[in-house]
Structure 1
Amino acid sequence: MKTKLMIGIGAALAIGLSACSKDEGQGVVENSAEQAALAGLVISEKPADAVSIVQLRKQAKAGDTVTFTGHALGSRSVFVDGRAVMIMGDPEVLISCSLIEGDNCSTPWDVCCEDPDEIKASIVTVQVLDGEGKIIKAGLKGVAGITELSDLTIVGEVAEKSTDDNMLINATAIYLNQ
């Protein structure tokens, strides 16, 4: 079951990364312009009318502008290094290892003990695109203090590449819930 879950999450990340382009012979470089662009997405006022991830997945479709709340959780690797991509899960449904008494998991944001179908229905992949529609080549981890298990509200658009198995959100604003 865990293998199927990891394959599904890996596929979700692969779909998110499929829009990336990498200059031949050059590695991914995070520069201050890309980091500044990510920092510019962080807003100081909480957006109104945010829905849960489960509600979002039930009602939103490609092209819809959405506002939702959730936690940076759901997998062993929540953030993609060098890319503005992360996984978010619905904390009303998913129980991270950090909340399981006696669990000494080295990745407390993982939800490996949950049912794979429940995980699939309760996570989304969030990405940030540049002006050309490509994923920004800078990681989201650390932007405005965002880390695993952060409670976030996201404003964005459901990507055209979204599927029933992988809802992909192009974020336009990020609020770190206090």
Structure 2
Amino acid sequence: MQHFSSKHIVAIVAITIFSFTVACDKAAPNAANPVAQNAGSTALPANLLVTEQPTGAMGVIEARTAAKTGDRVAVIGRIGGSRAPFVSSRAIFTIVDQSMKSCIETGEEEHCPRPWDYCCEDKKELAKSMASIEISDANGKPLALALETEGTFRPLMLIAVEGTLQSTEGGSFVVRAEHVYKVANDPLASKIK
């Protein structure tokens, strides 16, 4: 028979109480609480993907210098910029200006297991070349959707995003996407795994 010290018992009780507190903190979805109903949304909005590139789409670097919070913007770039460009369990990801080159584009993909992290680019320049894209519900909250496993988007995919610039504080550049166009005839498409 195994004996537990008082420290073990206190730790087990604390973990159990914490687990119940976290579980009970979530609002139950009902007709009076539509936010709770939308929080578990697992599908992209039906009108998100479009078949034509947004008019006037500009690179991320150009958009970062030209746009301000609240502006409608259309930006084009490749999904990437880090080892994990998709935020887990939220419909948020990063894109990189096309002037930045992944290891696939430089012909150095052999040494790089994740060419979408742009490891061969200068980190400071890369940071100035990135934008965060969020796909939100009707209440403006990012969808609770793991895009990495959902399948619509992949690292290094060239896309154009049309939406509203949310924030530029602290060097961030966040676009709330209303429409996303997957660029046709992407020269890297055949190399993207």
TM-score, normalisation: structure 2: 0.70
Separation in 2 of the partners of 1:154 and 1:36? 14
C-alpha deviation, 1:33, in angstroms: 4.6
Distance 1:132 1:170, change over 3 A: same
1:45 is matched with 52
Distance 1:144 1:48, change over 3 A: farther
1:162 aligns with 2:168: yes
2:125 is matched with 118
Separation in 2 of the partners of 1:47 and 1:142? 26
Structure 2 alignment gaps of length 5 or more: 1-20, 27-38, 185-193
SS of alignment partner, residue 78 of structure 1:
coil
2:103 is matched with 97
Q: Deviations over 1:16-56 (max 9, x none)?
A: xxxxxxx9327xxxx9953142x531111221111111100
Separation in 1 of the partners of 2:120 and 2:151? 30
C-alpha deviation, 1:73, in angstroms: 1.5
2:91 is matched with 84
Q: Deviations over 1:40-86 (max 9, x none)?
A: 31111221111111100011010000011111021111111221000
2:67 is matched with 60
Structure number with larger C-alpha Rg: 2
2:64·2:173 contact (CA, 8 Å) conserved in 1? Answer: yes
Q: Deviations over 1:142-170 (max 9, x none)?
A: 667420000100001000x3325111111
Amino acid in the other structure paired with 1:34: T
Separation in 2 of the partners of 1:110 and 1:164? 22
Aligned residues: 150
- Structural RMSD (CA): 2.4
Separation in 2 of the partners of 1:32 and 1:24? 16
Q: Which has the higher contact order (CA 8 A, sep 6+)?
A: 1
2:50·2:180 contact (CA, 8 Å) conserved in 1? Answer: yes
Distance 1:155 1:142, change over 3 A: farther
1:24 is matched with 22
2:94·2:131 contact (CA, 8 Å) conserved in 1? Answer: yes
Separation in 1 of the partners of 2:114 and 2:77? 18
Q: Deviations over 1:105-140 (max 9, x none)?
A: 111111122112211110001011111221100123
- Larger deviation: 148-157 or 40-49? 40-49
Amino acid in the other structure paired with 1:24: V
Separation in 1 of the partners of 2:51 and 2:148? 18
1:69 is matched with 76
Separation in 1 of the partners of 2:48 and 2:94? 17
1:137 is matched with 144
2:189 is matched with none
TM-score, normalisation: structure 1: 0.75
SS of alignment partner, residue 109 of structure 1:
helix
Amino acid in the other structure paired with 2:22: E
Separation in 1 of the partners of 2:150 and 2:48? 10
Larger proportion of helix: 2
